[in-house]
A and B are shown apart, each in its own frame.
Chain A
Amino acid sequence: MTLTSGQFTALALLGVFHGIDPGMGWLFAVSFGLQERSRRALLRVLPFIGLGHEAAIAIMVAILTVTSSLFAAKAVVLVGGSILLAFGLWRLRGRRHVRWVGMRLSRWQLAGWSFIMSSAHGAGLMLVTVFAFSMNDQVSPLDLHHGVLRVLAVAVAAMAVHVGAMLLTCGAVALTVYELLGLRVLRTLWVNLDRVWAFALVGAGVATVLMV
């Protein structure tokens, strides 16, 4: 598995998209800041939001890597794309909200919250498309020259780029809202990203399946 600069850019852009969503963490970070009237409280929780997101992505990448080393890459991409498409369609019907109830979370609980939110929104699933590009022209997955370490390194780099972009965006939005804009902007600027997500998932699913 190798990734081109275009794929890294795509991963970073998806990170920005995930970071902008209030439901992925920046809003929670702002609420910590406001509740304690402290910017430091806001900044302190950001890494834990990133950690949860990272874990959600890592699980998907791991599944992808393992399955693609066991099965034909085409099959993995086809199945992944189909799941993506189905998940997007299910989210388009979108009546169910993830319910995690509580404001007083410890930082590790916050990481758990972020993990659940990212998984439930299909954040990791969305990356399947990007990886699919790299697996299409794959040589034998069991080719020892490629080596486990190399695959691992690429995967870690990919996740770092994605989560780095996500966290930077998340932090920038949180600080801007906390310091400058105030939460009143929620009333006008908060478009229904759940629906955008659903469309993105469907689009990514279709693109992935077509690629095979």
Chain B
Amino acid sequence: MALWKPDPTFYPSPRDAAAAPPEKLAYVAAFSRPATTPDAIAVLDTDPDSGEYGQVTGFTELPELGDELHHFGWNMCSSALCPYAPHPHTERRYLVVPGLRSSRLHILDVKEDPKAPKVVKVLGPEELAKHAGYSRPHTVHCGPEGLYVSCLGGADGAEGPGGVALVDHESFEVLGRWEVDRGGQYLAYDLWWHIAHDVAVTSEWATPSMIEDGVVPELLLGRKYGHQLHFWDLRRRRHTQTVDLGDQHQMVLELRPAHDPTRKYGFVGVVISVEDLSASVWLWHEDAAGGDGPWTATKVITIPAEPAPADSLPPLLQGFGAVPPLVTDIDLSVDDRFLYVSCWGTGELKQYDVSDPFHPRETGSVRIGGIAGQTPHPALPGEPLRGGPQMVEVSRDGRRVYVTNSLYGAWDEQFYPAGVGAWLAKLDTGTDGGITLDERFFPHGDAFRGRRVHQVRLQGGDASSDSYCYP
């Protein structure tokens, strides 16, 4: 049912969104690695005045087994206020939750009881296959034409090409394949856009067989994982340009464009360089100042591997004698000022001031978990933690950061063979930088009922959920 007034969680500009009230709840993808129990969306209480602060207060199990929940998104967001096709009276009400392994799409209604999301629709893998020709749905973004779901695999057992499926944001039917002309893109991963410039950007991870049983060392050393960025005409759905970061830079993952719609730059993380195990963050921008020049990318952050004794390393890394940082997620605050970088291998969350995007300045760092360090959380001192900061989500006002510790089922075991565990940490940020762990907020272990935790979405929107048409 349409509203009379715009949904209160839609904001015309990032500036307005940054003034939004703090979230009271967070939704977390929780998946059962052995697939013996259903995956779930866990609901966390993030209201510091609540008696359940920092605890799992709701837990909605999905109907079937083996989904492997990963990323998810909202049916609607602030892009509904965009001037060319405004529909501000539709509600941000449903979570769209793909099963990365099962290729199912789940629709969860959070309106009636936000602490107990209800599964209202499940689309089987055949829907995605039949209408869009894809499988392994990954990222979900609410955008101008509906929901954009980036998918890693092809349909009916085909490895690729991966791409983007369009899903209606009200009926939740798969409308079809988004791309009219996909150019040279074959590997898929993330998708986002410069909405005010009709430009979309996609990145590359791998095809299903390259990830589902774990990272394949021969393919990695053979530089077969993704190392390119793709630029698109968002309106005409056409591939316009490929930017190759160099094939030593393996796995180009999360895309974080500036929220300010007048700016045309963004950050993307690279997991690993096969030359020295370092990780990096790149800035994409236009070549010619001010004009509609071709896109290019500049490496603006390099994070080196850290030497470690072989006996502290999993078999995969023993030959190298070092821990790669493994930058698997990054997130940009809504005011475009701070970039958060997860180092899942070394167990570190870094904060950079990116006011000058070409020259990031490190302003904060917190160690927690890590392959060699296993740094404990202050709420549980003396207890070594495995896994590291991985999915990172920033509140709209930029004051709180949430991190979870699982990367992807089969990969967790390769890097943390003794078990990755399950934990979620919250950090508070200083107004001019600096991050500290909140000792009152550390749901872990049994709180997640035997599941591992991946993406976090905040009630009403967060730094990676919404795009804005007005500066």
Contact = CB atoms under 8 A, between A and B. Distances in A.
Q: Are A and B subunits of one complex? A: yes
A23 interface: yes
B298 interface: no
Contact of B88 (A98, A100, A190, A195): A190
Contacts, number: 91
Q: Closest 7 interchain pairs by CB? A: A102-B235, A183-B12, A28-B83, A27-B83, A192-B89, A101-B144, A31-B83
B85 interface: yes
B170 interface: yes
Interface stretch (B192-200, B347-355, B407-415): B192-200
Interface of A: 22-23, 27-28, 30-31, 34-35, 37, 94-95, 97-105, 113, 183-184, 186-188, 190-192, 194-195
Given A103-B195, A104-B197, A35 B471 contact: yes
30 contacts: A22-B83, A22-B86, A23-B86, A28-B84, A31-B83, A31-B469, A35-B262, A95-B170, A97-B87, A99-B145, A100-B85, A101-B145, A101-B198, A102-B144, A102-B235, A103-B198, A104-B198, A105-B84, A183-B16, A187-B6, A187-B8, A187-B10, A187-B16, A190-B6, A191-B5, A192-B4, A194-B2, A194-B89, A195-B2, A195-B4
Given A183-B16, A186-B6, A191-B5, 13 more contacts: A30-B470, A35-B196, A35-B471, A95-B170, A101-B235, A102-B144, A103-B83, A113-B84, A183-B470, A187-B12, A187-B16, A194-B89, A195-B2
B380 interface: no
Main secondary structure of the interface of B (DSSP, over half): loop
Bin chain B's interface residue count: 35 or more
A30 to B, nearest CB: 7
Contacts of A31: 82-83, 196, 469-470
Nearest to B196: A103
B261 interface: yes
B234 interface: yes
Contacts of B3: 192
B234 A192 contact: no
Contacts of A23: 86
Given A22-B83, A191-B4, A186 B88 contact: yes
Contact of A34 (B6, B171, B471): B471
Interface string B59-98: 0000000000000000000000111111111000000000
B295 to A, nearest CB: 16
A53 to B, nearest CB: 15
Given A23-B86, A191-B4, A192-B3, A184 B16 contact: yes
B11 interface: yes
Contacts of B250: none
B13 interface: yes
Contacts of B198: 101-104
A156 B7 CA distance: 40
B263 to A, nearest CB: 11
